[in-house]
Amino acid sequence: MARYQLPSGSGSANPSAPIVDTNDKVVAITISNPSAVDGYVSEQRTELDNTVPGTNAPSVGTLFPAAAPPTITILHIPRFKGKLYARAIVPGAALEVLENDIC
């Protein structure tokens, strides 16, 4: 498992971070947000970095809401091939990513 601190603020000044690169392999991925800050994930890095001025919210991306015990949002992708990028609106966000080769 890897834990990624996510960039925040303006997408042009702080581009999104790569969190998954399968190198043309098919993998199973599990993503969770253990932090107290929302995170966003997308395959479209350019669009994820196209943030709304004033709010720094991305215009695309899957929202991983801040962890609120006793539940933490977990996304399992059984088969994925490609790259995923992540960012946050404000500092302090982190995502945990677990990859398992399946092919």
Nearest alpha carbon to residue 75 among 96, 47, 94, 51: 96
Percent of the chain with pLDDT over 90: 55
Tell me the residue range of the domain where 29 lies. Answer: 2-101
Upstream peptide bond of 53 is cis (omega within 30 degrees of 0): no
Number of domain units in the chain: 1
pLDDT averaged over every residue in the chain = 90
- Residue 87 has φ and ψ, to the nearest 5°, of -155, 175
**Average pLDDT for 18-39:** 93
Q: Does 29 have pLDDT greater than 70?
A: yes
Q: Domain with 87 in it: what CATH number?
A: 2.60.120
67 DSSP 8-state letter: P
44-93 pLDDT, tens digit per residue, is: 999 999 988 888 888 889 988 887 766 677 889 999 999 999 999 899 99
Sequence letter at residue 52 = V
What pTM did the predictor assign? Answer: 0.90
